[in-house]
Amino acid sequence: MKKVRIGLIGLGSFAHIARLPVLVELDNIELAACMSRSKEKVKTIAKKYGFQEWFTELTDFINKSNVDAAIVCTPKQTHYEIVMKLLNNGINVFCEKPMAMFIKEAEEMVECAEKNNLILMIGFNRRYAPVYEWAKKEFEDKRPDICIALKNRPGTEYRATMENAIHMVDLMRFFCGECIEIKAYSKFDDPYYETNAAALLRFDEGTFGFLLGNRTCGQWMERVELYGDGKTVIVNCPDSITVIDKERESSIHLTPLNFGWARLIDKMGFKQELEAFIKSLTENEKPRNLASDSIKTHILLNEVLKVAGLPPLEE
């Protein structure tokens, strides 16, 4: 089987945490090219990880690297421009979330991928995280009656709810279906740097969802609770899941995996989602995070922001 020629665009901290450690382990790809605006950085990374070529300009990356697919790890404000140029030049794309800063741009990205018959996958890694996969299996094809999703992180940032809670909005769609009604609230001094956002969501198959994004807490915390079908399922991401029914309580902890060396890239689904991306290219296997579905998460988040009194993702 021909190996997929992969290019990596953006070599910041997230690429080092979640992408480079995975790419060096995949055996059905070639590390064809990497790109960064910093010549010194890109040369160092190319040599360290074995990339065949390196570039500092996107035009050169597109015209000279001959890649089959690119992974875009640049700041979110740059996603639209970079992804559109890649797609329009016949390159499949894995793009980190959020797809773009505006819904209109995200829609254009989906249309461009479909028009060019290319894969555009978005980095909603939680759908591949083992603890969330196990939680999904507990309900099989059913929906929970209640879904509580909490994503708390110290310190606000630009578009904090979009940056912080978008994973939880995507997980709520993963577990609950599509949302049909929203009530939401927020707290802020500056609406672009909010500290709290909370929402009550009603889904099309009857689930009630509760979403909370807090930026005044003590530590990072991500937790999902699911209730229904005689079960309580509690996920403390990325390390454990507890299932409680009328007869027993059982827990699974990821710490013992790999003899106690369970890694973040495995626990958070970073490795699994890139494997799914490669399979979509080599085996025509549909990934969970195709942009045509992921845009629905962006649209739902946009509605939550608007109802909460925060600036929407609309120009």
Tell me the domain boundaries of the chain.
4-124, 126-269+288-307
How far apart CA 268 and CA 284 sit, in angstroms, is 24
What is the CB neighbour count within 10 angstroms for residue 251? 11
The single-letter code of the amino acid at 186 is S
Answer yes or no: CATH 3.40.50.720 is held by domain 126-269+288-307: no
Question: What is the structure's pLDDT at 315?
Answer: 63
How far apart CA 95 and CA 223 sit, in angstroms, is 25
Q: CA torsion 67→69→75→76, rounded to 10°?
A: 140
Q: Answer for the pair 70, 9: CB distance below 8 angstroms, yes or no.
A: yes
Q: Residue-wise pLDDT tens for the chain (315 aa)?
A: 689 999 999 999 999 999 999 999 998 999 999 999 999 999 999 999 999 999 999 999 999 999 999 999 999 999 999 999 999 999 999 999 999 999 999 999 999 999 999 999 999 999 999 999 999 999 988 999 999 999 999 999 999 999 889 999 999 999 999 999 999 999 999 999 999 999 999 999 999 999 999 999 999 999 999 999 999 999 999 999 999 999 999 999 987 766 667 789 999 999 999 999 999 999 999 999 999 999 999 999 999 999 999 999 986
Bridge partners of residue 79, in order along the sequence? none
Query: Tokens for 11?
Result: 């070599």
Question: What is the structure's pLDDT at 254?
Answer: 83
User: Quick check: helix, strand or coil at residue 293?
Assistant: helix
CATH of 4-124, one of 3.40.50.11540, 3.30.70.3420, 3.40.50.720, 3.90.79.10: 3.40.50.720
Give the global pTM. Answer: 0.95
Question: What is the structure's pLDDT at 258?
Answer: 63
Question: What is the structure's pLDDT at 314?
Answer: 86
